[in-house]
A = this chain, B = another copy of it.
Amino acid sequence: MSATNYSINGRIWIETPEGKVLGHGRVELLERIHVTGSLRQAALQMKMSYKQAWDLVKHTNEGFTEPLVQLSRGGTGGGKAILTEKGHQVIAEFKKIQKKFIDFMKEEENLIKI
């Protein structure tokens, strides 16, 4: 049982001078793309429109030096979405930081005195 009724919560993200390029939501989208191999399925799972997901991937790809997701259309299955090696790296890096961030918040929550 904590000594306080308050909890600390927050969000972190990676950005460039042009703006946000990766955060909580995008990482989840990328992970679902990796699992399903499909942008449409990933979007469905997250209950977002295909268009929004596609825009997110576009902006994310443009935010890094190389694409994190490789989209292709036509062929067997109609098309596919594949996470690049860079995509895997970036996700891993973000999740590492995210884990530390959660620890940070937990710690501060225990110290809080109001």
Contacts and interface: CB of A to CB of B under 8 A. Distances in A.
Q: How many copies does the complex hold?
A: 2
Contact of A14 (B6, B15, B86, B101): B6
Contacts of A9: 12-15, 20
Q: On chain A, which size bracket covers the interface? A: 20 to 34
A50 B55 CA distance: 35
20 contacts: A6-B15, A6-B16, A6-B21, A7-B14, A7-B16, A8-B13, A8-B97, A9-B12, A9-B14, A9-B15, A9-B20, A10-B101, A11-B11, A14-B112, A89-B114, A93-B113, A97-B108, A97-B112, A100-B108, A101-B104
The 8 closest A-B pairs by CB, nearest first: A10-B12, A93-B114, A6-B14, A97-B108, A90-B114, A9-B15, A104-B104, A10-B11
